[in-house]
Amino acid sequence: MSLLIKRADDIPASEITDRALYLTRRDFIRTAAVVVAAGTGPLAARTAYAQQPAPHGRRFERVTRSLLSTAEKPNPWEHITTYNNFWEFGQDKSDPALHARTLKTTPWTVAVSGECAKPATYSVEDIIGGETLEDRIYRHRCVEGWSMVIPWVGFPLANFIKRCEPTSKAKFIEFTTLADSRQMPGVREPNLRYPYIEALRLDEAMHPLTILAVGLYGEVLPNQNGAPIRLVIPWKYGFKSIKSIVKVRFVEKEPTTTWHDANPPLYGFWANVNPDIYPQESERRIGEFFKRRTLMFNGYADQVAGLYAGMNLRRFY
């Protein structure tokens, strides 16, 4: 970390402005304080400097445009690959870009088990193989109050689920992230229980908006964004979109999930974006200065509200 500490008067003004624009307001104030005080030390190291954006990876050959994309302008590669949440690589937004570089993503397999007719260990190549890859530009809303627009490359999770042939008992689908402490320094920290686990009700998982993402901006997914394969479910808070998946399990009962287990009142199992539940009424789009109003189901209400008909969304948050 110490290599990243620069004196404030070494930072070009352009870098300060650019960086400040996409920090949260609290971080922005801290950064400003650091700049004014020409401070160094841990605070400066933590807040003042962006990581290098991810190097560019292999481009996918055929990616079709999806009608399910938002028309909003995507955030640039630099934002999406340097401002990340991936606690297996550290808690700061800049940690994953720094520490995930060395994650080994080939070979990679996903072990499928539980209530299904085709339990097996699938290679990522096999999972992606027969799929038509699509550009899916989605809004992303983190429970911490920031948002981005991200041009994923992926395909409906439903396609993979059908291949696994869930039985009639399967009501939920559970996902697990790799937890290899040799590659993932965060896994040794006592902040969350690893491996990271997330789950969806099966009908949510089968919804056409729910995808397995394998790329970003037409290229192979950078490690910090959850390579080689991650879930993206755009109407829920970001923590549901689990990264670097190594296991899938079909189950009858609602599984215990990492964030919900860590703090149930704060992180509901459902995690549907809901501006009516304090303090989620507004968000800051990374790259913008003023806040925007958060939309019900993150703007996907027309497509997904029906999944929750008759459910009290204040109780099942």
Ligand X SMILES: Nc1nc2c(c(=O)[nH]1)N[C@H]1C(S)=C(S)[C@@H](COP(=O)(O)O)O[C@H]1N2
User: What residue 298 binds from ligand X, Mo ion, none (CB within 5 to 8 A, per partner kind)?
Assistant: none
d(CA 287, CA 270): 28
Nearest approach, Cβ of residue 241 and ligand X (Å): 5
Return the DSSP state at 59. Answer: B
CB proximity list for 3: less than 8 A, separation 6 or greater: none
Nearest approach, Cβ of residue 222 and ligand X (Å): 9
# of chain residues touching Mo ion (CB under 5 A)? 4
Structure token pair of residue 208: 């056409």
Chain residue whose CB lies nearest ligand X: 238
Q: If you search the block for the tokens 């990243």, which residue do you land on?
A: 4
Residue ranges binding ligand X (CB under 6 A): 84-88, 140, 142, 177, 196, 225-226, 238-239, 241-244
The distance of Cα 73 from the centroid of its chain, to the nearest Å, equals 18
Nearest approach, Cβ of residue 210 and ligand X (Å): 14
CB nearer Mo ion, residue 134 or residue 283: 283
CB nearer ligand X, residue 39 or residue 257: 257
Q: Is 158 helix (H, G, I), strand (E, B) or coil?
A: helix
User: What residue 88 binds from Mo ion, ligand X, none (CB within 5 to 8 A, per partner kind)?
Assistant: ligand X
Binding mask 120-159 for Mo ion (x = CB under 5 A): ----------------------x-----------------
What angle do helix axes 13-21 and 25-37 make, rounded to 10 degrees?
Answer: 160
d(CA 292, CA 282): 6
CB nearer Mo ion, residue 228 or residue 238: 238
- Which CB contacts under 8 angstroms, 24+ apart, belong to 293-301? 294/141, 294/147, 297/235, 297/272, 297/273, 298/139, 298/141, 298/234, 298/235, 298/236, 298/273, 299/70, 299/139, 299/235, 300/139, 300/209, 300/234, 300/235, 301/235
- From 238, 241, 258, 267, residue interacting with Mo ion (rule: CB under 5 A): 238
Nearest approach, Cβ of residue 293 and ligand X (Å): 19
Sheet strands (E) in 203-281: 211-216, 219-220, 230-232, 245-251
Nearest approach, Cβ of residue 259 and Mo ion (Å): 9
- DSSP β-ladder status, 292-293 and 282-285: antiparallel
Q: Which stretch binds Mo ion (CB under 5 A): 31-39, 85-93, 196-204, 274-282?
A: 85-93
Nearest approach, Cβ of residue 146 and Mo ion (Å): 8
> Which of 260, 241, 83 shows the shortest CA–CA distance to 177?
241
Nearest approach, Cβ of residue 146 and ligand X (Å): 8
CB nearer Mo ion, residue 85 or residue 224: 85
User: What residue 87 binds from ligand X, Mo ion, none (CB within 5 to 8 A, per partner kind)?
Assistant: ligand X
Residues forming the site for Mo ion (CB under 5 A): 85, 142, 238-239
